[in-house]
Amino acid sequence: MTLQRNLLIALGLAALVVAPAFIYPMLIVKLLCFAIFASAFNLMLGYTGLLSFGHAMFFGSAGYALGVTTKFLHWPPELGILAGIAVAALIGFVAGAVAIRRQGIYFAMITLAISQLIYFVAMQMEWTGRDDGFHGIPRGRLFGLIDLENDLALYGLVAVCFVLALLAIHRIVTSPFGLALTAIRENEPRAVSLGYDVERYKVLALTLSAALAGLAGSLKALALSYESLNDLHWALSGEVVMMCILGGLGTLGGPVAGAFFVILLQNFLADKVGEWLSVIIGVVFLSCILAFRKGLVGEIAAWMERSRKPIPGQESRR
């Protein structure tokens, strides 16, 4: 299993290096941004067991924060990205403090309400450019050295951030905090009875998830030199739920695969079917859910698990 996993990781890294030679780099940048976003969301739904229906607020707010700091304050891109992460994390913390006492559908509704609030505020503000979008975000020079106007350089930055984000998520879910979170997800009343203040752990999980979603949103705004209200819209919050569930919750690779699948499908169909796009995506989503309950990656993992022979001696202990 670990050998297979290492092989997969090596293949993935190799693919990241050679991909821009074959595929338009800006498409991969977009794929990677949404893969980070979906992975961040998975930290909530997959690992904490809470369905947030307002994750676009972190993605979009970070994009605007990066825009404001780099365009108006002339911050370098690395600080702009950090600003986006910080703003998203702050919103995540506040939203968490407000919503975390609620369970299930109520949590989803409150996060949706907060994200709608932010959407309408952004729509009222002059500086966001409203429906026209926030234009003219400079890509700038990374650390004053690397000119990000070069698409390949930008691709490099996004690819590195993508790898770091996945490493961060892996570390978070296997950390002492991640294990406490697992216990809470598995049996919340029991965790309470062992003295865990479960709400604090959930707020921290949402803050971390928001920060990573912020990283994704910042990178996307930087790459496109443009931020729009669509990135704050509830439809995007729904899309990220779909990516996660399609790919497989609670796995590291699932949301990545789900994001790639949804974005590629959208790209492929966009100029062919017009209005029908969301209907087709919806049907694909539904059939996938019915066919693969654990998501694409989840089903593959389960299949590999089944095909492994039980280790002799393991059974005799019971």
Interacting residue ranges for other proteins, rule: CB under 8 A: 171-172, 174-180, 182-183, 186-187, 189-198, 200-201, 204, 208, 317-318
d(CA 141, CA 312): 58
For 27, 71, 77, 167, the CA distances from 140, given in Å and listed in that order, are: 20, 10, 6, 26
Nearer to other proteins, 93 or 196 (CB): 196
Minimum CB–partner distance for residue 224 and other proteins (Å): 31
- If the CB atoms of residues 193 and 307 are measured against other proteins, the closer one turns out to be 193
Rank residues 6 and 174 by Cβ distance to other proteins and give the closer one.
174
Dist CA 303 CA 305 (whole Å): 5
CB of 52 to other proteins, least distance (A): 18
Instruction: Please say which residue, 212 or 240, places its beta carbon nearer to other proteins.
Output: 212
Least distance between other proteins and beta carbon 160 (Å)? 19
Q: Closest distance between other proteins and the C-beta of residue 8, in Å?
A: 21
How is residue 203 written in tokens?
Answer: 């707020």
Nearest residue (CB) to other proteins, 149 versus 186: 186
Shortest distance in whole angstroms from residue 198 CB to other proteins: 7
Helices 2-22 and 151-174 sit at what angle, rounded to 10 degrees? 160
CB atoms within 10 A of CB 157: 21
Nearest to other proteins of 171, 293 (CB atom): 171
- First-last CA distance in the chain: 24
Separation CA 30–CA 33 (nearest Å): 5
Q: Show Cβ contacts of residue 282 under 8 Å, excluding neighbours closer than 6 positions.
A: none
Residue 81 CB coordination number (10 Å): 26
Measured from the CB of residue 117, what is the shortest distance to other proteins in angstroms?
A: 28
